Each structure stands twice: as C-alpha cells, then as structure tokens.
Amino acid sequence: MSHHEKVIAANLSSFKDKAAEYDNENTQLISRVVATKVLQFRFDNAPDTEETEFASNDFDFNDLDIPNVADELWDPESTRVLDFACGTGLVSQSLAPYCKEIVGVDISPDMVGIFNQKIENQGIPESEMRALVLDLLATDDDSLGQFDAVVTSLSYHHIHDTDKCTKRLAGKLAPNGRLYVIDIEKGSGGSVHGRMTDEEALKEGVAHRGGLEADELVQTFKNAGLDQVKVTRAFRVKLWVPEDKVKSFSGITGETKVVNGKTLHCSKVNLMLVTGRRK
C-alpha cells in the first residue's frame, strides 16, 4: 500500500465516524468564514494580513452575514465551482447563491451522502449542486469539465503530496480561473491537530500537524503554473472544544464555559487563504 493509499484509508476511517456529527457550531462557523473570505477576496487589493477574529460561542448559523461580493468572478448566471474535499457541503451551501453550479468531490461516501441528502431535502436540482465520491489524486476525471473557481477548506493538512494535489486542482481551472486554499498556517498560533502524537496523526489521516508553511504553499502554487499568488494571513476563529478533544489542540486559551453540563475549552486557530490564478 502506497503512502497516499494509507492516508486515504486513515481519512476514510476517521471521517466515517465523524460524518453524522460533522455539522456543529465550529464547522458551521469555519465554513461561513471561509465562504466570506473567498467571496470578498480581490486580487487587485487583497491585504497580506488581517487581524480579524470570529467566535463560535453562542453562534447561530445566520449570524455571520456574507456582505456584497467584491470580486467579479462570482456570477450566479455563469460561475462553475469545484468544492474539493467538500465534506457535508457547508462551504458549498454558503457559496451557492453566488454561482450557477457547484460540484463537490470527497473521498468519504458518508460525507457525500449527507451533502446530497441536504440537496435533495431542499429540492435543489443536480444541475445546480451535487457531490461525488472521488479521489482526484488517484483519478483525473475529465468528465467534470473546467471550473471558474476551485475551493478547498482545511483539506491540505490531510494531504501528503500537496504539489500533486495543487497541480491536479489547477488543471481543473478554466483560463483565468481561481484556486482558493484555506488552511492552518504553521507557527501562527493555535492548531486543530498541533499536539497530536505521530500515532494519533496517522490514525486521523493528518499529514501536516500544526498546519502548513505559507511560503512553501506559495511556491507550490507557482510550480503548478498559477500566477497572481497571494496569501492572506491571520483571520482567526475562536472554537469551543470538548474535554476529550483538548489534548490534540494547540492554542488553548484557558477560557472555559459549560454547555449542557459539559465543559468546553476555548482555542484560537489562525487560518490563511492562499489564492492563485490560472494563466
């Protein structure tokens, strides 16, 4: 079994157990923040650093409003979007009003099943939104066509070969299409998996504990043939972590609260958005 196959197997096992409970206040918050940052990003005047904090305490899914879209890329009459490692479709749900079609892909049948069930429950036609079980690193499916935007959130730290992944995703872009990768920046502060042991990381399918180096990811984008590569740093999410998950988190602040008799611990996690354009 290759290293990629081992990581895939670990991720399939890990997310099979998590799929049913994946949609929680933390993942909802992160997904809305991701969608907001992606939609508002402009290549012509994007800041290098933003000191912005979003908190998931007492969070309601509709509290974080997505303001007017800043970039002309997003057109509900024409824009096609690929949501790579789409999970249960939380990011896609937020992007949907701003594009014509969204295709989600994920290696987890359980995640894809929940994604598609949501679509069916809402009466959304497959021509507008759908998810597929697909390992794009193992199979380059040309039938997907080309996309105006490829978005992926918190997937790269699970991927061993980010060079291959970026080249594959860049290949899915139409000319002038944009790739948006949101993940944890290594050394910037808190991390979801920063305190995992090697054994725990392998079991959870985590390839990059503590996140990724921004400079290395920029070079990865350039090696994939993308230009206008830009990093936006330091937008921060404040998460509430149950007792049994604290040991794998770095960035625990010491702040706690009790919800339904359970003690939750505060962790502040810094995210970065790396973007690039297909020439």
Work out the pLDDT band at 250, boundaries 50, 70, 90: low
Tokens encoding 231: 């990093």
| Domain hosting residue 52, numbered range | 3-235+273-278
Q: Please check whether residue 248 lies inside any domain of the structure.
A: no
The pLDDT, as a whole number, for residue 265 is 86
109 pLDDT higher than 60: yes
134 pLDDT higher than 50: yes
pLDDT, tens digit, for every residue of 50-68? 444 444 433 334 445 565 6
The pLDDT, as a whole number, for residue 47 is 53
- CATH number of the domain bearing residue 130: 3.40.50.150
Q: Please check whether residue 253 lies inside any domain of the structure.
A: no
pLDDT, tens digit, for every residue of 176-185? 999 999 988 8
Q: What is the mean pLDDT of residues 135-159?
A: 90
Q: Please check whether residue 76 lies inside any domain of the structure.
A: yes
What is the domain count for the chain?
A: 1
Phi-psi region of 263 (alpha: psi -120 to 50; beta: other; left: phi over 0): beta
Q: What is the mean pLDDT of residues 88-107?
A: 94
Question: For residue 90, what are the CA distances in angstroms to 111, 175, 212?
Answer: 11, 27, 23
Contacts 24+ apart (CB under 8 A), 106-109: 106/131, 106/132, 106/133, 106/134, 107/8, 107/11, 107/12, 107/133, 107/134, 107/135, 108/11, 108/12, 108/15, 108/16, 108/19, 108/133, 109/133
Q: Please check whether residue 267 lies inside any domain of the structure.
A: no
Q: Please check whether residue 260 lies inside any domain of the structure.
A: no
Question: Which is higher by pLDDT, 29 or 131?
Answer: 131
Residue ranges of the alpha helices (H) in the chain?
A: 3-18, 25-40, 90-95, 109-121, 162-170, 198-204, 214-223
Q: Please check whether residue 15 lies inside any domain of the structure.
A: yes
**CA 22 – CA 109 distance, rounded (Å):** 14
Residues forming a β-bridge with 129 = 102
Q: Please check whether residue 246 lies inside any domain of the structure.
A: no
Q: Please check whether residue 252 lies inside any domain of the structure.
A: no
